[in-house]
Amino acid sequence: MRSVILKDPGRALLERCRRGDLGAWDRLLEDHYDEVIQFLFQLDPGLTRDAASELAGQVFDRAVSSIDTAVEDHATPRVWLMRVAADCVRGRTEAQSNSSARSCNEAILLRRLLDRVGGPCRDILELAFFGGLETKELAAALEIEPATVGPRIHMCLNRLEVFLQQDASGEFRTLQEA
């Protein structure tokens, strides 16, 4: 297993981070900071630059405490950091109470829909549509064959559509009209 990790430079970098190599952490930050910021803006278009920078700091803080998971999951640095970023935004969105701007309402609508879809569907849709991950990266993140990525996305989009159609409470229609 160790030889597999060392053949992939990204995984080797994560292993060095896991061992406490500060230079590796600097490299990880340097290589992926801008991607994390871009991903945060895609997940929450209402973010200001300052808020995105602060949230990116939280992403990398959480990365430090969850490095073992990244190495054990055999994730690429990019995929793993996008997962951490999605979790940070999810937590931030849940903490927000009121927002009247349409873009914030749309972000909240999307977040609630994705939360209702849940689990693997939420993850694949976030990574595919907001993370800009390619099929190979999605497959690695989800530990599935690349050929199954497209069908899973299609299935998850169908599931999302069912939730919209079953919306008896009007919660989503109300947010859309706001």
Identity of the amino acid at 45: P
Determine the Cα–Cα distance for residues 167 and 171; give it in Å rounded to an integer.
7
User: What does pTM read for this prediction?
Assistant: 0.55
Interval 82-123: pLDDT, tens = 888 888 887 766 555 444 445 556 666 777 787 888 888 888
Is the pLDDT higher at 27 or at 175?
A: 27
pLDDT grade for 31, boundaries at 50, 70 and 90 = very high
Angle of the 102-117 helix axis to the 77-95 helix axis, nearest 10:
110
Determine the Cα–Cα distance for residues 20 and 128; give it in Å rounded to an integer.
31
pLDDT grade for 3, boundaries at 50, 70 and 90 = very low
**108-115: long-range pairs with CB below 8 Å, 24+:** 108/175, 109/172, 109/175, 109/176, 112/171, 112/172, 112/175, 113/160, 113/163, 113/164, 113/172, 114/160, 115/90
pLDDT at 172: 54
User: 96: Cβ–Cβ under 8 A, 6 or more apart, which residues?
Assistant: 104, 108
Domain span including residue 112: 2-177
* Whether the predicted pLDDT of 132 surpasses 80: no
How many helices (H) and strands (E) the chain has is answered by: 11, 0
Total tally of structural domains belonging to the chain: 1
* Whether the predicted pLDDT of 173 surpasses 60: no
Q: What percent of the chain has pLDDT over 90?
A: 7
Interval 58-87: pLDDT, tens = 888 888 888 888 777 777 888 889 888 888
- Mean pLDDT score across all residues of the chain: 78
DSSP 76-141: -HHHHHHHHHHHHHHHHHHH-----SHHHHHHHHHHHHHHHH-HHHHHHHIIIIIS---HHHHHHH
